Amino acid sequence: MKTLPSLLLLSLAACASPLVANDSDAPHPAPGFAIVIHGGAGSPSRSMSAAERAAIVGGLEHALTLGRDALESGAGALEVVELVIRSLEDDPNFNSGRGAVYTAEERHELDASIMDGATLACGAVGGVTTVRHPITLARLVMTETRHVLFVAEGAEAFADTQPVERVDNSWFDTEPNRAYLHRVLEERRSAGLLDVTPAERSALDARAMARLAEEDAPASTFGTVGCAVLDGSGHLAAGTSTGGLTAKSFGRIGDSPIVGAGTYANDATCAVSATGVGEEFIRHGIARDISARMDYLGLDLDRAAAETMALLDEGVGGVVCVDHAGNITMNYNTTGMLRAAADAGGRFEVRIWEEVEDLD
Amino acid sequence: MKTLPSLLLLSLAACASPLVANDSDAPHPAPGFAIVIHGGAGSPSRSMSAAERAAIVGGLEHALTLGRDALESGAGALEVVELVIRSLEDDPNFNSGRGAVYTAEERHELDASIMDGATLACGAVGGVTTVRHPITLARLVMTETRHVLFVAEGAEAFADTQPVERVDNSWFDTEPNRAYLHRVLEERRSAGLLDVTPAERSALDARAMARLAEEDAPASTFGTVGCAVLDGSGHLAAGTSTGGLTAKSFGRIGDSPIVGAGTYANDATCAVSATGVGEEFIRHGIARDISARMDYLGLDLDRAAAETMALLDEGVGGVVCVDHAGNITMNYNTTGMLRAAADAGGRFEVRIWEEVEDLD
């Protein structure tokens, strides 16, 4: 149905706005496997230090290598998603696991979800505080219970029955994230946000956040990590893990643990992990909508992702996706998205902005 | 695009299975308004007492009257959804608010969500324990914060800042629900479910639940209440409120507070509220999928709801829906669904099974 010229026109259209990026060129189905990772979408500062940039690129490269090697060894999509996200959860440079940002109460609440495209089985946890690898707990919700989502103390109680590593909440403390929390709280205080109604606070807060976004927030505060995989057997899986928003109200749940919003996988269409302002991803059911546009409109992955992302305002976030044929799409409407992709055809790349990063 | 004969064939096809019900006949757009309500899908016992049946029918009739009268007076869709669900939350015969079932710990945890089809604004709460009307708290999340979902203690803390009525958790105690909890727990004990792994427990539990479903569970334990409305200005809204599953693990969140799964509204397509085994509604993104099939496949509401519900196994639950033209669809794959519908054309009916109930 789709001709090459129309795809080229689509690519040109996507390039028209500097804030709409869509990394893939023509479709390049990769027989074997494909893997795509994100480490959050936002406004990474072009003036970040070489050390910070190297740490981010190194973390993505390490996770991508783990995933690619496992896929080359025949690992299944679900295993690889968990493996890759555990690696990113242990890296303090990303806002998940170890690097989770701080809530307004100066604590950490973590969310994660995972989905198996072969069976549509899925599991998720929200607001966990003592689990080192929330993605593993999410997978156990999927495999060990008939439920999909456990939150807060209920998720902790479930963890008590499972073989997952527990840590004190202070294990997630990191100085850059703490310093950033204090800047956000100071911004709120100076804007008088403590003496206004919740609605006024929300509006002011959004403005304060926008101002802060202009400054040099640590890249680790952007979002979320996620991974979408096609394995050598043709199965898809996706997962997402996050520490949420800096200075969020406690008990706030974003899209990361919401199947269909932050995570979705279906062998018939695609696997998707999202990052950004979670509320917008829930409202529009972003991850599932990309699959629905492939399924019901017959769109290819690039086009489906572009149309779904067009539902969002600029600056809201991004998605990484892989389809059943091994095509990879990374689409974001922020100025950058930490991301990486590899496939059986030898593709292996890490990007923050448009350009491919140099790897060692 | 669609001819009357094809619609008739569709209706006949829908009637072929006794477990697939689709109440609407030919489309009958109602200029003005339309409202549809559910009080849970399940296996209501044909041998329920006349008093129990009268209480259920009376509760639905009362809520429907409130909603219809408000719509006739020009109320907006969102106001009506909240009004109707508050009425059902106060009725101990439905599993929401006052009649919320018991968790395994013999307490009550309530979930709710609401969505405005005009703006796609939405709000939800999960695991609240002291809020008399969770639907009202969900609406306040929507209007007073930039977030969509608050859970557990975080939702309680948000409630502390809002003008919502608070009650002790024991306010949700009702004797029929407590007796049913004890039967479920006894069934679990006799099946030896206390000495097995979570996975084994899940499997055994599903079987125990299936056995219990054959018996006379109070109708109040079925599910959930919900409402979908088209108002006289052409705006759609939907909401859902529940006490969850009897004997659920604490912290388990079903589909009711998940926008896109249990609740969805979009003025361009339809408004939907779901009830049933929440995990299946999350996995398939049921409420949003009905809208997507209308939008992307050009299906009418009946057909879209039927195709979406076909994703689910029999016995899983049901949906009530209204579209932008005032068509109403009530589709379930259980043996019954407590439900009611009215429109500006004079339709006013309450049903449990196929037949319309006698009203006073």
- What backbone torsions phi and psi does residue A288 show, to the nearest 5 degrees? -70, -30
User: What is residue B232's three-state secondary structure?
Assistant: coil
Cα–Cα dist A163/A183, whole Å: 37
Q: Which residues of A touch B202 (CB under 8 A)?
A: 144-146
State how far residue B146 is from chain A, nearest Cα, in angstroms: 6
User: What is residue B16's three-state secondary structure?
Assistant: coil
- What backbone torsions phi and psi does residue A129 show, to the nearest 5 degrees? -125, -10
Over residues B235-244, the pLDDT tens digits come to 999 999 999 8
State how far residue B139 is from chain A, nearest Cα, in angstroms: 13
Angle between helices B198-214 and B175-190 (to 10 degrees): 130
Provide the pLDDT confidence category of residue A263 given band limits of 50, 70 and 90: very high
- Could you say which of B251, B279, B288 has the minimum Cβ distance to residue A152? B251
Among the listed residues B227, B291, B259, the one whose alpha carbon sits nearest the alpha carbon of residue B115: B259
| Mean pLDDT score across all residues of chain A | 87
Q: Which residues of B touch A292 (CB under 8 A)?
A: 289, 292, 296
- Inter-chain touch B279–A253, beta carbons under 8 Å: no
pLDDT of A6 higher than 70: no
User: What is residue A250's three-state secondary structure?
Assistant: coil
User: What is residue A167's three-state secondary structure?
Assistant: coil
- Could you say which of A151, A252, A292 has the minimum Cβ distance to residue B147? A252
Cα–Cα dist B191/B204, whole Å: 7
Cα–Cα dist B72/B229, whole Å: 12
Q: Answer whether A303 touches B (CB < 8 Å).
A: no
Contact map slice: A 187-246 vs B, CB within 8 A: 197-199, 202, 205-206
Residue range A111-115: average pLDDT?
98
Length of chain A: 360
- pLDDT for position A22: 52
Contact pairs from chain A to chain B, CB under 8 Å: 163
Q: H or E segment at B274? A: strand B270-276
CB B113 within 8 A of CB B214: no
Listed as ranges, residues in chain B with pLDDT below 50 are 1-20, 25-30, 214
Q: Which residues of B are catalytic?
A: 224
State how far residue B359 is from chain A, nearest Cα, in angstroms: 38
CB A89 within 8 A of CB A59: no
- CA contacts within 13 A on the Cβ side of A13: 11
- pLDDT for position A27: 45
User: What is residue A196's three-state secondary structure?
Assistant: coil
Give the other-Cβ count within 10 Å of A232's Cβ.
16
Q: Tokens 């209706």 identify what position?
A: B11
- Residue B358 carries which DSSP code? P
- Could you say which of A151, A285, A296 has the minimum Cβ distance to residue B293? A296
User: What is residue A142's three-state secondary structure?
Assistant: helix
Q: Answer whether A6 touches B (CB < 8 Å).
A: no
Q: Which residues of A touch B149 (CB under 8 A)?
A: 252-254, 258, 282
Question: Rounded to the nearest 5 degrees, what angle is found at the Cα of A22, between the Cα atoms of A20 and A26?
Answer: 145
What is the CA A151 to chain-centroid distance, rounded? 19
Contact map slice: B 53-82 vs A, CB within 8 A: none
CB A134 within 8 A of CB A111: yes
Cα–Cα dist A146/A12, whole Å: 46
- What backbone torsions phi and psi does residue A150 show, to the nearest 5 degrees? -120, 140
User: What is residue B173's three-state secondary structure?
Assistant: coil
Q: H or E segment at B263? A: strand B263-265
Give the other-Cβ count within 10 Å of B19's Cβ.
10
- pLDDT for position A18: 36
Q: Which regions of B77-233 does DSSP assign to beta strands (E)?
A: 110-116, 122-128, 149-151, 224-230
- Inter-chain touch B127–A151, beta carbons under 8 Å: yes
- Could you say which of A126, A145, A199 has the minimum Cβ distance to residue B151? A126
Percent of chain A at pLDDT > 90 equals: 72
Q: Which of A103, A130, A174, A224 is catalytic?
A: A224
Q: Which residues of A touch B143 (CB under 8 A)?
A: 199
Q: Tokens 């303090």 identify what position?
A: A92
pLDDT of A30 higher than 60: no
- pLDDT for position A34: 98
Over residues A50-103, the pLDDT tens digits come to 998 999 999 999 999 999 999 999 999 999 999 999 999 999 999 999 999 999
Over residues A217-232, the pLDDT tens digits come to 666 666 699 999 999 9
- Could you say which of B143, B250, B296 has the minimum Cβ distance to residue A199? B143
Q: Which residues of B touch A121 (CB under 8 A)?
A: 283
Question: Rounded to the nearest 5 degrees, what angle is found at the Cα of A13, between the Cα atoms of A12 and A16?
Answer: 90
User: What is residue A309's three-state secondary structure?
Assistant: helix
- Terminal Cα distance for chain A, rounded: 42
Provide the pLDDT confidence category of residue A42 given band limits of 50, 70 and 90: confident
Angle between helices A286-297 and A301-309 (to 10 degrees): 130
Contact map slice: A 139-158 vs B, CB within 8 A: 143-158
- Inter-chain touch A153–B154, beta carbons under 8 Å: no
Over residues B187-212, the pLDDT tens digits come to 878 876 555 555 555 555 555 555 55
Cα–Cα dist A339/B288, whole Å: 29
A114 to chain B: closest CA residue: B283
Provide the pLDDT confidence category of residue A249 given band limits of 50, 70 and 90: confident
**β-strand pairing of B34-42 with B110-116:** unpaired
ipTM of the complex: 0.88
- Inter-chain touch B149–A282, beta carbons under 8 Å: yes
